[in-house]
Amino acid sequence: MQKLAELLKAKKLKVTPQRLAIFNMLYNTTSHPSAETIYKSLQETHPTMSLATVYKTLDALQKAGLIQQLNVGEDSFRYDANVSSHPHVICLECNRVFDLESDILNDLRSKVASNTDFDLISEKVYLYGTCPECKESMKEE
Amino acid sequence: MQKLAELLKAKKLKVTPQRLAIFNMLYNTTSHPSAETIYKSLQETHPTMSLATVYKTLDALQKAGLIQQLNVGEDSFRYDANVSSHPHVICLECNRVFDLESDILNDLRSKVASNTDFDLISEKVYLYGTCPECKESMKEE
DNA sequence: TTTTATGCAAATTGTTTGCAGATAA
DNA sequence: TTATCTGCAAACAATTTGCATAAAA
């Protein structure tokens, strides 16, 4: 928590209980929650925090480069405290989102760079399918 | 146009002037327009067509597998009559969206399949950067 | 004639904004 | 103290929906 407070201060963001709670939650999960999910799961510990504060905090953290926004094709955004440009795999059965290693994009990056003459800055890569667990439970039926 | 009418009929969709106009426009562009852009550019030839009809038509075409929806990270969707699962490069200066060949994803697909045990179904791949033309005009300044 | 599509206006939903009071520095 | 944040309610924008009329099959 101390570490997160330092990260906020380094970006000249005031350290508030709300910000710490949101940042901390994102920092300790790989579930890529949405604003709504974050809001609901912090209801118990921060019952007075509003959804608008969640949105404003996520916006501030994102602008500071401390988190990133994902758009996996749902109707709302998800957030990730892993700010490296890494690909994600999404299970179409359970809707969970998993991280992949960034370096599996190296081949793609170099191919695109040589095919297009673009100066590439970033990328968003989402793969869709069925996760091992859901494959199992589908077999059983 | 005859060809497009056949494609609609094959999907049991009624062939209306609005649907033909929208489908035809998408079929003859690589600009990946949004619903709003399609609506505006068809105003001249189809002044009575409503935006709701554009949305309903895009939805029908998409469900029939005749077009696909893109989410390049803007506040609205774009549409593509190329329904193959191909990557896109987006220029952050001029906001144009370009198609890439599907097969440059082969390496990524096989890497992800072997790393995750997912059964992969599809993918959305967007790369961001500066296109050759915008690189030129930035040099001049 | 039957079925499906269109066009209008109203509804929906995730997200943003304005602002007064509260809190961090 | 003063600069910034919070929380509420209202605003927003892209998209969807209900329904009466119109057009396709």
The pLDDT of residue B112: 96
CB hemisphere CA count around A53 (13 angstroms): 17
The pLDDT of residue A100: 96
Q: Which two tokens stand for residue A80?
A: 């990730």
The pLDDT of residue B139: 83
Kindly state the average pLDDT of the residues B106-129: 95
Kindly state the average pLDDT of the residues B101-126: 95
Burial of A23 (0-12, 13-18, 19+ CB in 10 A): buried
What kind and span of H or E run contains B92?
Answer: none
**Residue B127 — very low, low, confident or very high, per pLDDT cuts 50/70/90?**
very high
Summary mean pLDDT of chain A: 95
**Residue A140 — very low, low, confident or very high, per pLDDT cuts 50/70/90?**
confident
> What percentage of chain A reaches a pLDDT higher than 70?
100
Summary mean pLDDT of chain B: 95
Q: Is B115:A132 a contact under the CB 8 Å cutoff? A: no
> What percentage of chain A reaches a pLDDT higher than 90?
94
* Cβ of residue A110 closer than 8 Å to a chain B Cβ: no
pLDDT in tens, A15-68: 999 999 999 999 999 999 999 999 999 999 999 999 999 999 999 999 999 999
Local structure of residue B107 (DSSP, 8 states): H
Q: Is A91:B118 a contact under the CB 8 Å cutoff? A: yes
Contact between the CB of B34 and strand D at under 7 Å: yes
- Main-chain dihedrals φ then ψ at residue B75, nearest 5 degrees: -85, 0
The pLDDT of residue B115: 93
Task: Return d(Cα A11, Cα A8) in angstroms, integer.
Answer: 5
Question: Of the candidates A109, A115, A127, which has its C-beta nearest B100's C-beta?
Answer: A115
Q: Which two tokens stand for residue B93?
A: 């200066």
pLDDT in tens, B3-56: 999 999 999 999 999 999 999 999 999 999 999 999 999 999 999 999 999 999
Mutate to test the interface with B, among A62, A105, A119, A126 (most CBs of B within 10 A): A119
Distance from CA of A121 to the nearest CA of B (A): 5
Query: Which bases of chain C are under 7 A from a protein CB atom?
Result: 4-10, 13-18, 23-25
* Cβ of residue B130 closer than 8 Å to a chain A Cβ: yes
**Contacting residues of A for B132, CB less than 8 Å apart:** 116-118
The pLDDT of residue A109: 95
pLDDT in tens, B65-93: 999 999 998 999 999 999 999 999 999 99
Kindly state the average pLDDT of the residues A81-90: 96
**pTM given for the model:** 0.92
Task: Return d(Cα A38, Cα A55) in angstroms, integer.
Answer: 10
**Contacting residues of A for B116, CB less than 8 Å apart:** 89, 98, 100, 131-132
Please indicate whether, in this complex, the C-beta atoms of B124 and A129 are within 8 angstroms of each other: no
A8 Cβ neighbours under 8 A, 6+ residues apart = A14, A15, A19, A20, A23, A64, A66
The pLDDT of residue A2: 81
Contact between the CB of A35 and strand C at under 7 Å: yes
Q: Which two tokens stand for residue B32?
A: 């990946």
**Residue B2 — very low, low, confident or very high, per pLDDT cuts 50/70/90?**
confident
* Cβ of residue A128 closer than 8 Å to a chain B Cβ: yes
